[in-house]
Amino acid sequence: MSTAQPPPVNSKTTSKGSGTWNQISEGREWDDLLKQFTADARASYGFYGKDVDWEEIKRLPRWRRPFRIAKGFFWALVMKLSPARRVMLFAALVMLVISSPKFPVTRDFAFDVNLATAAALLFLLLLSLELADKVTMKRDLEIAREIQSWLVPSKPPVVAGANIAFHTRPQNSVAGDYYDAFYPLNDAAEGGKLFLVIADVAGKSVPAALLMATFQASLHTVARNGVPLSELVFRLNRYACAHSLDGMRFTTAVLAEFDPKTRRLDYINAGHNAPAVRRHIANAANGIAGVERLEVGGMPFGISLDAQYQMGTVELGSQDALILFTDGVVEAFNDQGQEFTDAQWIAAIHALPDWDAARSLQFLLQRVDEFVGVTKQFDDITCLVLRCE
């Protein structure tokens, strides 16, 4: 079963037109470009707004606030430049200022210093330097993303009597989310247990991705020793505590062992979003397809060496679906700032058709995409679906 890739929603393209404009816009229509610009503007506002002293602004008279806000955003932008580039920016601004006025010398002669062209060239040079940094960083992040992709499965394992699909969508080039499905003892042919995991390291981008890589390495090392699930969780927490910066870089996770012969799932939820088991109507006691949450476990890894974890057990029936996901799914928001919420996610799971894992995953993520639209993604989104046959 291949990994499901849900189609993009509300992304309008057109094959009409050619030439420079079509190359610049990638064939997108005006309404789509406007929505993307709005999303970028909102993201930039949030990025620079973190450095603005809003408490001080609230104490000012209303008529002074717009000027103070503009000043705050200006300095938030300037201070993110290197010292040399700040000098370049101010030099260009000074050139623009002194290019505006004219100084009359006689009735027929005025002294006019026009440095607007030089200022424009200086702005263009500054932009090119910033773009060069961004392109270099993007290339490095793409390499990091490629390396990170080696740490997760490229295709689902073969499972007797079940099928699996998964999908991850980083907020940046690299992610702090982790998912996996593997046989620790390489005994799939002998009917061995399948190990399932989904995890989320606190934070985003490179720091979270580095901790995710160490989590993956320690998990595989311990799991291949054939230790019980409870012992594996104990060791992972001990390792996470040693690398969590006093609990600041904790990790939430769900770790589970699935026995294909009995369809029994043993799991431990370490402070993660509770996975859902969508019961097929034929397996429901009341004749209504329901959703069961898997909440048994303990606190996230990396917070306390004394943490205790309980193990939960659930029996899966024919056509039942197990859905594991990260908080980026339920915390996705639209252009009005509204969250998708856990309640809407569970409603989508309730409405899940009796499809295989790949199409089930596509159905669920499409519900999220329809809600979000073209709003820029705020967090990593990862989902794993196991469907019994």
> How far is Cα 101 from Cα 299, in angstroms, rounded to an integer?
66
For the chain, the C-alpha Rg in angstroms (whole number) is 27
> Which residues touch 360 (CB under 8 Å, ≥6 apart)?
165, 321, 352, 353, 385, 387
Other C-beta atoms closer than 10 Å to the C-beta of 255 total: 26
> How far is Cα 87 from Cα 306, in angstroms, rounded to an integer?
53
Nearest CA to 283 among 146, 379, 387, 182? 387
> How far is Cα 95 from Cα 91, in angstroms, rounded to an integer?
6
Domains and CATH numbers, the chain: 29-147 (no CATH), 156-388 (3.60.40.10)
Residue 310: predicted pLDDT = 96
> How far is Cα 225 from Cα 261, in angstroms, rounded to an integer?
22
CB 300 within 8 A of CB 271: yes
Residue 175: predicted pLDDT = 74
CB 80 within 8 A of CB 133: no
Q: What is the SS3 assignment for 33?
A: helix
Give 356's DSSP letter: -
Residue 386: predicted pLDDT = 96
Task: Match 């990170």 to its residue by tokens.
Answer: 148
Cross-strand partners of 337: none
* pLDDT tens sequence for the chain (389 residues): 334 444 444 444 444 445 787 878 777 788 877 877 877 777 788 788 888 898 899 999 989 999 999 999 999 888 988 899 999 999 988 888 887 666 666 666 655 667 888 888 998 999 898 888 888 877 877 777 777 778 888 899 999 999 999 999 887 767 788 999 999 988 777 778 999 999 998 877 777 888 888 889 999 999 999 899 999 999 999 988 887 777 678 999 999 999 999 999 999 999 999 999 999 876 665 555 689 999 999 999 999 999 999 999 999 999 999 999 999 999 998 878 889 999 999 999 999 998 999 999 999 999 999 998 877 777 889 999 999 98
Report the predicted TM-score, pTM, of the whole model to 2 decimal places. Answer: 0.72
How are beta strands 264-270 and 297-298 bridged, if at all? parallel
Other C-beta atoms closer than 10 Å to the C-beta of 107 total: 6
Residue 364: predicted pLDDT = 95
CB 360 within 8 A of CB 388: no
Cross-strand partners of 199: 178, 253
CB 227 within 8 A of CB 243: no
> How far is Cα 137 from Cα 125, in angstroms, rounded to an integer?
18
> How far is Cα 334 from Cα 343, in angstroms, rounded to an integer?
16
Residue 6: predicted pLDDT = 44
Quote the strand ranges of 28-155, DSSP E.
103-106, 109-111
CB 207 within 8 A of CB 181: no
What distances in angstroms separate CA 100 from CA 29, 74, 111, 120, 267, one per listed residue? Answer: 38, 21, 11, 14, 70
Other C-beta atoms closer than 10 Å to the C-beta of 223 total: 22
Residue 10: predicted pLDDT = 43
